[in-house]
Structure 1
Amino acid sequence: MSATAPMSMPMLARGRHRNPRRGACFMELVSYLAGESWSDAPGCTDEALARLARLVNDLTPDRARSRLAPLIPSVIGLRHLGPGFEDEVALIAAVHALPIASQSRQRGLAVGIGRTVGTFGTYRTAASVEVCHRARRALEDQPALHAWARDFVGTIGAAGHPGSERSSAGTITEIAARGIADACVNDAEDRLRALLEDVIAHARACAGFAVEDAPALEPHHWQGKVRAAS
Structure 2
Amino acid sequence: MTTTDNAWEIPQSDHRRYGAALFDLDGVLTPTAEVHMKAWHRMFTDYFAAHGITPAYTDDDYFAYVDGKARYDGVRACLASRGVVLPEGDLTDPAGTETVCGIGNTKNDAFAAILRDEGVDPYTGSVRLIDHLESLDVPMAVVSSSRNAPEVLKAAGLADRFEVVVDGSVVATEGIRGKPAPDMFELAAQLLGVESDDAVVIEDALSGVAAGAAGDFGLVVGVDRGAGAAALLAGGADVVVTDLEELIAP
**For this structure pair, what is the TM-score category when the shorter chain's length is used for normalisation?**
under 0.3
Greater RCO (Cα-Cα under 8 Å, separation 6 or more):
1
Higher-Rg structure is: 1
Hey, which of these two has a bigger chunk of helix by percent? Answer: 1
TM-score normalised by L of structure 2: 0.23
Structure (1/2) with the larger strand percentage? 2
